Amino acid sequence: MVIRMKSLAFPALLIGALEIWARTTGQGSDAIAPPSAALRAFGGAITDGSLFEATAFTLGTAALGLLIGALGGLLLGTLLGLSRRAAQLGFLSVEVARPIPSVALIPLAMLVFGFGLRMELSVVAFACLWPMLVLTQAAVQQVEPRLLEVARALELTPRQRFAWIVGPAIVPRLFVALRLGVAIALVVAVTVEIAANPHGMGYAMMIAQQSLDPALMLAWLAWIGVVGYAINVGALALQRRVARAMGEQAA
């Protein structure tokens, strides 16, 4: 608890310095508002319901996009990890498509899906696909070869091989990939909303900026940071719980 309190000292110092600067040298600025004004704007967003509506849209889109991307990455990563021939055939395609910035797909997604949920989902899913694919492929390739030989000797079907041998062996790395995917999903979702989609937290922050309301803009920025931190803490707790449960089972 003491360590946690000490970790809050520097952010509190920065907030205090910003409050003093905004009320003295920076008074009347159209870009920076005092944290106290941002807090009042945050309360207003809670009162009018815009905070909950925008947050629900962004988190729902990020979660669904992560689910689609993770499932695709899991399936493709498992296939490429188990089959050397498939990995050789898919190597060039993966290496060419993987470095493409997800936000670069926004114009194409807008042409295909227009504005709205499906456009944002497609970009988020594309961004989340690659870390899941790469880490799943690497995890599958590191499964003990003798276990795979036993599976072939027992003539297990691909589904049985994954459910009984490959799946349990790669669970710890899958959670690492999912933690990375959660962060990517939220960042990409907010970026798409700022750039193109008139919904969610990113759009609300952009509208506040265009309306020359720096207090509300800073309130949204701080809230996005809090949401991201809470999601990361939750994902880390889930990862530790699953790892502990697997350790107890193994014991």
The pLDDT of residue 143 is above 80:
no
What pLDDT was estimated at residue 248? 47
Helix then strand then coil, % of the chain, to nearest 5: 85, 0, 15
Rounded CA-CA distance 134/30 in Å is: 44
The answer to which of 6-15, 104-113, 216-225 has the lowest mean pLDDT is 6-15
**What percent of the chain shows pLDDT beyond 70?**
91
pTM value? 0.81
Please determine, for residue 85, whether its predicted confidence score (pLDDT) is greater than 50.
yes
When mean pLDDT is compared across 19-23, 112-116, 217-221, the lowest value belongs to 19-23
Q: What is the predicted pLDDT for the residue at 195? A: 86
Residue 167 has what pLDDT? 73
Please list, residue by residue across 59-96, b when 16 or more beta carbons sit within 10 angstroms of its beta carbon and e when fewer do: bebbbbbbbbbbebbbebbbbbbbeeeebeebeeebee
**Chain CA centroid to CA 188, Å:** 7
Residue type, 88: Q
Element (H, E) at 155: none
Q: pLDDT class for 103, splitting at 50, 70, 90?
A: confident
227 falls in which pLDDT band (50, 70, 90)? very high
Q: Tell me, what's the pLDDT at 6?
A: 65
Share of the chain above pLDDT 90, in %: 24
> What per-residue confidence (pLDDT) applies to 185?
92
Please check whether residue 201 is in contact with residue 54, taking contact to mean a CB–CB distance below 8 angstroms. Answer: yes
Whether the predicted pLDDT of 250 surpasses 60: no
Q: Could you tell me which residue, 171 or 76, shows the higher pLDDT?
A: 76
- Does residue 104 have a pLDDT over 80? yes
Q: Are 136 and 161 in contact (CB under 8 A)?
A: no
Q: Read off the amino acid at residue 132.
A: M
